[in-house]
Every structure is written in C-alpha cells, then in structure tokens.
Structure 1
C-alpha cells in the first residue's frame, strides 16, 4: 500500500460528508471525528477506515485471541470495539437480560483504505490513493428526507426507574456498594433509518471529541461520546472519566453560574472523587510503582447540551505488563459501573432490565507499530441492527446515598436529548 497527501478542495465538513457517503459501499466502516476539540493525547483530527483485509470477531476468550490477532498484524490503525459484556469474561459475572441487537463481544479489522484529515490536507493509505481521492471528490451528497417514523419507547416506565433507583439505594444503605451507574434503555422496533444520515445529524447536534460511526455488516454504531476510557502514549496510560453533568445555560452568564455551582457541589465532587479513586486503583495494577497520578481534577468541559466534570489520571505502564492485561485490569470504564466495581456490576446485572451490549463498552483503535491505543466510552450513542430493524440507546447516572431519584431521572433524559433531536422524535 502507498500513502499520498492531497489538498482539500472542498471544506473539511463537506469532504467528511462525501467520504462517509462514499464509504457506504463497504461492509466495514470506522470513522473517528474529534470535532476540533483540543486534546494533547489525540493522534488524529479525523480518520476514516474501510474494507477489512483481516478481521477479528468473537464472543469467547476475547483478550487472549485479540492479543494474537494484533501480534499478527503490524499497522498504525486497527479500529474496533469491545462490548461492556466483556466484563463477564474478566470477572465472575453473568448477564441474563434480553439482547435484541446481537453485536459481537469484540470486533476489530485491518483496513484496506485509511484516510486521515488535517486542517487543509487529506492523507490516504491505499493500493491506489489517487483513485480513492478522486472517487470521494466525485461523490454526490444525497438529499435525504429527514422525516423519521419511529415509535421510541423506554424499557422502563418512570415508576419502574424510580423503583430500580430505590433498590440500588437500599444496597448502598446496607453497605454493599457506595455508588452505582444505573442505566435504562430507550428503543424502537420496526425502525427504518439511514444510519449515515442519523450519525451526521447527531454529530451536528452534539459534536464531541470522541465521535464515531462504525459499521460491520448490518450492525451500526452512531456515537457522540465525550469521554475517553483509556489511551496509551509512549508508555504512559491516560484515563479521563466523566462524573458530573449539568444542563447548558441560555446565556453566558447563566453558564458561568451553572459551572460555579457544579464546582461547589458536594454531590458532584464526591461522585467524581469516587470514580477517580476507582480508576487510580485499576491503573495501579498495570503501573510502575509510584507513577499513578491524578494530574487534573474536576475540570469542566462544555458541550452543546451539557457541562461535564472530567478528571485525568495517568501512570507509566509497567513494561512487563501486556496491553491485554491492562484491559483486564481496567475494563469496563469505572464511570459506567460504580464502586466497588465488581459488586456494582453484579447489582446492575440483577436490577437493569436490558443488556448493555456495546453501550458502556469502548470503541477505539490499536497502533501495533508504535505500541499505542486510544479508546472512548460508548455513551450518548445509538446502536442499530438493520437486519432486525431494532434501534437502541441507553442513558445512565450515578446513584449515591445522597442522590435524588427525580433529579437522576431527569439527568437521564438530558443525556438523551441530543439523540432525541437527531432522530427528530420523543418518547411515546
């Protein structure tokens, strides 16, 4: 394969759209878009990979087999995802809830074509980069009727959510756990959507640093994730959990007031500290002694719909520690489980009424040439099985002893607002 660079003749956004519509001909698509967010750990502004030369798909013995797959393929970009239910392999856990999406536990592929954007250029790695570039430039962006006829429902009624919330708080009061991320599913059956158009609308409504569109066969992920699960850069591990959410204000002054209240909120700070401690403990198992550090605490990052409280934890990876063991020690993201982690996951399995699947898992890539990787947390994301016409997304929030059920329920709806907007629908 060859790598060639080309000047962007269209605007970057227009070329994105052309490239994504061009990619629709392939069975495997991975598109990551940072939406211009400043990120000292990011390697790509935007990157599109299509057409699997080699692929990895399994539900069993995932991490050992994935390690072998990555060893066999040395390249800079191997995208894929890990389902939340990989936890059942890592720990003694079991999920009995119904799964109507049918995503595999893990999927990765070695792309035949990889396209990377910078501000004014596009770099294409392919057998014939010129032909790929010309084909994208010649692509016509279709005019799509944005009207969707979806019957979107919640797996739980509000009363059922409040009952589940109460059950979790009873566990907290008994001392079984001290925080749980309780999640609920929203879904549509007989859903007929254009996944590419829905993703583009979602990214317009909610541009985030870890935005992703992923296709494998008839399975699609449309993600507006704002959260990094774990990255590795030059031997350093970086995790940036989110815990703390507030609605955007109408004015700049109102925004400042909301951010000030977040930074003074004992509840938000306490929730964030719990997850920071959990992530520090997880990373300690893979780190050189004394290198785990919470480098930035309680940073507020503002997105279109919400303000988020984000902390950054880093460490130096023990050179004797294989990458797959790092994932064993840290997966899934602590912000999506609760603490203590295993007990929280077990309680979620007992109380939640739907299988999370890819939601609360992770999408990212491995760079086996440089021994690096970068993975998001799959939140604010739509999952779609086109063959079954089943569309699903989850939202969740932290339950602590101080949490109020009505506030957490409303926070779930706030987190869903961008998806409701992208689908141009509301709950039935």
Structure 2
C-alpha cells in the first residue's frame, strides 16, 4: 500500500480522468482531504470485509473502505427491506492527503441537470399523515419510545460522469460546515456523496467512541442564530429528552461492547451551516474484534429508534422499500503498527446515493417522540436535505463558515448545557473503569436476565456485573424456568401491549411470571415485566392517556423521593395486595413499584440515564432480595 502526502493536484487529476474506485474524505474542519483509491470487492457479511489480518499497518493508514447497506442489520436478527444490496468494499492500494483549497481549485464546476427534478415517495402531506399514524398507533400503543421514519426522493442526473460527481462533492465541501465526515465514495458502480454530522463508531487502540446526536435548531435562510434563539432551543424539554433517549439507546450498545465501563462526555453543540445539533460523546474500552463491535452497533438509534429490534420492525412497516445505504455505516478499516485493528465510521445521512447511470436517491427522517408535531417534523426533514440538494442544484462558489460560532463559548450557553446533567445518572456520567462497585450480597450470585426485545437488558447486565454478579442474558423465546438454577431472575423490559392476551410473547411472559412465583425463586421485574406481574397480582393495567415514553418524574419510592425515567405507554392502577408493598401516585393511582418477600418490580427504569440514583436503587433492591 502506498501512502504519501501531496500538495499538487496530481491525485485529483488521476481520479478525475481514471477508472479506479476511489474515496475522498474531509474530517471536520480539517484543511486537508484524504484521497484513497484501489480495487472493488463485494461482500455479503461483515466478517468478509477485512483483509490482511495479522499484518502490521501504518499509523493513520486505511486498508479497506466499506459502504454497508442498511439491510445488513439482518445480521443481528432484525427486520429490514432489502433489494439484495451487497457490502461495497474498496481495498486501498494508494492513499494521500491533498490540501482542501487545491482540491477545490482542481475540480471543475459542472452543470448538474435533473430530469424532472426529485420526486419523493410521500408528499409533505402524506409524510405528515404517516408521522401522525406512528405517534398514534406505535408510540401510543407501547411499541417504542421513538422512531425515525424516512422519506425517499428519487431522480435522474442527465449524463452522469466522474466530473459531475466530483463537482457535487466540491460544492458540498463549500456548502457544509461542521460535518464529521464529508465524503465521496465510488466503487465503479455506485456513488455515495454526503456530509454526515454523526460518527457511527470509532475504535482506536481499544478505545471505543460513539456520538449520539439529537435535537435540531433550524437556522433561518441567510441568517445566524441569535443568543435568545439558542437558549430557547437548549431549554426546550422536547429537544432535551429527545437527546436523552438516544443517549440511553447508545448506552445499551456501549454496555455490550465495553465490559470495563466508560464515561459520558457532554452535552456538546455541533454547529453546522443550516442547523445546530446537540450531542454526547460516549467513550469506553474493549478487547473485542472491531467487526464484532461494528455488528453490535448496527445501527444508531438516531436513525432508527428504540427499542432497536422493534424500531426496525416499525421502519419496515411504514417505509415503502429498502433504505439502500442510508442510515447505515461508511466504515474505514485499518491496522496500526502494533497490529491492533482500527475503525472509523460515519452514518450516511444527508447523503446522495447515485448509480453510475445517474439514478439518484436521497433520504431523510426526523426523530418522532410522543409529543412530536407532524408539521414541524416535516420541516426538520426538509432542512436536513436542503444543504445536499442545494449542492446538487445550486452549487456555491464560497466556503460556508457559520458566523455564530462565538455563541458556542457563551458562558450562559455553557451553563445551560452543564445543567442538563445535574439530574442524570451519576453511574454513567462518572468514569467507571477501575472503580470497585462490588456489593457483598450480590457478589458471586448468578442472575438471569430475560430479554424481551429491549437492549436495556444489557444495561442491566452491565450494572449488575459491576456489582459482582455473574449475569447471563437469555431471550424470552428460549427461557425455561424449570432448568434455570440462577439465584435471581430479571424479567426485563420490552415493547408491546401487556393486555393483548392473544400475543404469544405476552402469553409466555405471563406463564414465566406465574412459574417464578410458584417456584419461590427470587425475581425482579422491570417495565413490561412489572406490568405483567401487576396483572398476575390482580391489578388493572391500562393504556395511559399520554404515553410517558422518555419522561422524567419525581416519585415517592417507598417513602423516598426519587427522580426516575419512564418508558411506558401502559401502567398498573393501584390495588392493595396482601403481602405486597405498593409505591404509587396518589393522584393518578399509577403504580411505580412493587415489593414482596420474593420479588420487586419497577415501572421506571433504574438502568436509564434518566434515573438519577438508578445504580443505588438497583443495588439496594438486589441486596434485599439476595441477602
């Protein structure tokens, strides 16, 4: 592999007039663009992507660049539309870095003509109707906390060629500011050209990083954001909780990838040309192979929803066809001089997918939560696509650099950001690596967590493992109470209507809870598990008028005031049960928690970042049950 640094336009000329597959990447605000070229290879599984296993590499060098289709999420057992897309790999033979200004000067500005413009699968009115349907029939029926339903636009670029592709990329470099990666990928058959604001996953020398982004402030055309507008955005409860929800979802992934723990950094502001986002940085360590980490991270909740498995099912239900390479990962694989694997990847959003014949598709979606406004979400989706479409249709000749950057260091703005974390879980905000969280009553005890299709089960496992327990996660489908010799069982959270007695999942959950009670085995039930237990104890479980999906509340938890996080659409109504203590809201009669000699249960999530003292609550509950 050849690696060098150039200040001339020769590499650009080679790509402009050559035939080899190539990739160009600008990271953040760097003044250089990485230029790579090589040979195409198609793969059908993540395991087939790597090459040169065990060979020492060059620091910073890339061995393979892979465009992964969204349908690859089926490797995790999740549903997705597919048009038989392959993983498109370019094995890198040559790489260099070119000065940004010299690249802009070397790439000609081409006229881009779209035959009949861009036609979207759904009109704004139809898209708004779908959003309302998801709010009513999915979030409103307990199927999840948030979903990202994309709308797809399609068109045809007249006389497509490399020069036009590079011209679009040139314009995107000029029009967009603040992206994690601004890239063009071409494997000889398909172009991906985009400015992604969001890191998917990075792994370097065992350090794992993810960047959940959510919350969007749209800038008015041709204007900068005022201090008052930014502060109002940062204090908007919907925007705050939207970010917390995706933070919770990515912590579920980090809990599976980083057994030694990690930390949460932020919130931070990402200032782009037409939008301002809020984000967190998640950082931990792992000894797992990068391909295993990549598979676990498929795909970001910011472009799918939560819980993840059900979110993919909902996307397949409401989206009309395959997502192609949208909202997946553009992955750069390499190896350092110590033969340790490295990975950097961006989420292909705000990205045009263009076939060699000029067929183009663009996609965008907004994060839908319980109080989303369809009209506002449609506008947000349109804003996300405006920079990309502008680069195709109305290329600029000037670099776009936001003039409102001073606001990012304004002391009041920074204070408002810091205050967001005051009531979040200390367990996640403080670095846990090397911290001894062992509890005497829990240490060495075997705990089984039943996975009811919500990866919060892995966050629970992570927390209980740090307390000293030996924890295994078992799917509900395969769980057998009679053969389980664990000291304690956790009936985990999950989506769905606990009152649907025709649902095989609810039938088995009810049977498991009855078997646990009859066996005398100690158990803890969380969220859906709590609702099933409440039903088995004779309580009425009802659909709430307003779902509490991603909501923080101050509650009375058996005489103690606690700030906790809820992700539920259904809740039990208070009823006295002999031998059972009930923590409930006196006004609404909603049951928050139960405890008896054999069991405990929570409607809220002690494992959520929204529960301030969640680690302590969980630890004290396990200690009581296991002592």
TM-score normalised by L of structure 1: 0.82
Report if aligned partners of 1:31, 1:47 keep a CA contact under 8 Å in 2: yes
Report if aligned partners of 1:155, 1:354 keep a CA contact under 8 Å in 2: no
1:81: Cα distance to partner?
1.6
Cα distance between partner residues in 2 of 1:416 and 1:63: 29
Q: What corresponds to 1:408 in structure 2?
A: 377
Report if aligned partners of 1:32, 1:213 keep a CA contact under 8 Å in 2: yes
1:27: Cα distance to partner?
3.0
List aligned pairs for 1:205-220, cutoff 5 A: 205-207=175-177, 208-220=179-191
| Residue 222 of structure 1, aligned match among 193, 197, 202 | 193
1:31 maps to 2:24? yes
The CA deviation string for residues 359-408 of structure 1, in whole angstroms up to 9 with x for no partner, is 10111311123421110011111000123x31011011011111000000
Report if aligned partners of 2:353, 2:360 keep a CA contact under 8 Å in 1: yes
Q: What corresponds to 1:260 in structure 2?
A: 231
Cα distance between partner residues in 2 of 1:63 and 1:217: 21
For structure 1, the residue ranges without an aligned partner over 5 or more in a row are 10-14, 38-43, 123-135
1:243 maps to 2:243? no
Q: What corresponds to 1:126 in structure 2?
A: none
Q: What corresponds to 2:398 in structure 1?
A: none
Runs of 4+ in 1 over 6 A off after TM superposition: none
Cα distance between partner residues in 2 of 1:140 and 1:402: 48
Q: Secondary structure of the residue that 1:285 maps to in structure 2?
A: helix
1:168 maps to 2:134? yes
| Residue 419 of structure 1, aligned match among 366, 388, 393 | 388
| Residue 257 of structure 2, aligned match among 286, 302, 306 | 286
Report if aligned partners of 2:81, 2:321 keep a CA contact under 8 Å in 1: no
| Residue 390 of structure 1, aligned match among 359, 364, 375 | 359
1:341: Cα distance to partner?
0.8
| Residue 166 of structure 2, aligned match among 192, 196, 200 | 196
Q: Which 10-residue stretch deviates more, 189-198 or 409-418?
A: 189-198
Cα distance between partner residues in 2 of 1:316 and 1:45: 29
The CA deviation string for residues 289-345 of structure 1, in whole angstroms up to 9 with x for no partner, is 3x2321222x1211111111111111111x2x2222111211111211111011011
Aligned residues: 379
Report if aligned partners of 1:192, 1:386 keep a CA contact under 8 Å in 2: no
Q: What corresponds to 2:96 in structure 1?
A: 115
Q: Secondary structure of the residue that 2:279 maps to in structure 1?
A: strand
Q: What corresponds to 1:350 in structure 2?
A: 317
Q: CA RMSD in A?
A: 2.6
Distance 1:91 1:305, change over 3 A: same
| Residue 373 of structure 1, aligned match among 343, 362, 366 | 343
1:313 maps to 2:298? no
Q: What corresponds to 2:125 in structure 1?
A: 159
Distance 1:143 1:278, change over 3 A: closer
Cα distance between partner residues in 2 of 1:363 and 1:2: 22
Larger Rg: 1 or 2? 2
Q: What corresponds to 2:41 in structure 1?
A: 56
Report if aligned partners of 1:56, 1:109 keep a CA contact under 8 Å in 2: yes
Q: What corresponds to 1:130 in structure 2?
A: none
Q: What corresponds to 1:46 in structure 2?
A: 33
Cα distance between partner residues in 2 of 1:220 and 1:119: 21
Report if aligned partners of 1:385, 1:391 keep a CA contact under 8 Å in 2: yes
Cα distance between partner residues in 2 of 1:5 and 1:202: 23
The CA deviation string for residues 51-110 of structure 1, in whole angstroms up to 9 with x for no partner, is 22xx43123xx122225x3527654312222111110122242416xx5xx7x4312222
For structure 2, the residue ranges without an aligned partner over 5 or more in a row are 395-627
Q: What corresponds to 1:332 in structure 2?
A: 299
Cα distance between partner residues in 2 of 1:5 and 1:192: 33
Q: Which 10-residue stretch deviates more, 145-154 or 177-186?
A: 145-154
Distance 1:74 1:168, change over 3 A: farther
Cα distance between partner residues in 1 of 2:377 and 2:52: 40
Cα distance between partner residues in 2 of 1:143 and 1:296: 39
List aligned pairs for 1:88-167, cutoff 5 A: 88-95=74-81, 99=83, 104-117=85-98, 141-142=107-108, 144-146=110-112, 148-167=114-133
Q: Higher relative contact order at CA 8 Å, sep ≥6: structure 1 or structure 2? A: 1
Distance 1:302 1:185, change over 3 A: same
Report if aligned partners of 1:259, 1:300 keep a CA contact under 8 Å in 2: no
1:118: Cα distance to partner?
6.9
Report if aligned partners of 2:2, 2:94 keep a CA contact under 8 Å in 1: no
Q: Which 10-residue stretch deviates more, 335-344 or 416-425?
A: 416-425
1:148: Cα distance to partner?
4.9
Report if aligned partners of 2:3, 2:94 keep a CA contact under 8 Å in 1: no
